[in-house]
Amino acid sequence: MSKKFDLRSDETLKKYEVFREKGGLDAGCRLCQKETIVDFTHWRIVINSFPYDRIAKEHKLLVSKQHATEDNLPKEAIEELLYIKMNYLYDKFTFMMEAMTQARSIPAHHHYHLVTIKSEE
């Protein structure tokens, strides 16, 4: 039987599973509680506690400051997102990833995964 592929290492995946089993996603919005490391008007960047470390050298999250789903973001936040992508993220990360509905662990708070992949040295 083949193991399901995950972007997290076995160790990080286990920590994440334990966190979820203990109700870690039920104790309020984890994204709202994260410390900001880069601040914009409608968005902020935070560290991902459970990174995709199987592929990522660096994994942060771009989180809307408003606790909202994608379809409830104000027009100004969507406009700023494009500005952030073009003027900040392109030079700092390899990928900007978005989980689709079935894979979202925090569906009520819109966010993107910012990943710098490990090199194949």
Query: Model confidence at 101, in pLDDT bands (50, 70, 90)?
Result: low
**Distance separating the N- and C-terminal Cα atoms of the chain:** 31
pLDDT in tens, 17-62: 998 888 887 878 888 999 999 999 999 999 999 999 999 999 999 9
pTM of the model: 0.86
Predicted local distance difference test score (pLDDT) of residue 57: 94
Predicted local distance difference test score (pLDDT) of residue 25: 76
| Proportion of the chain in helix, strand, coil states, percent, rounded to 5 | 30, 20, 50
Domains, in order of start, for the chain: 10-117 (3.30.428.10)
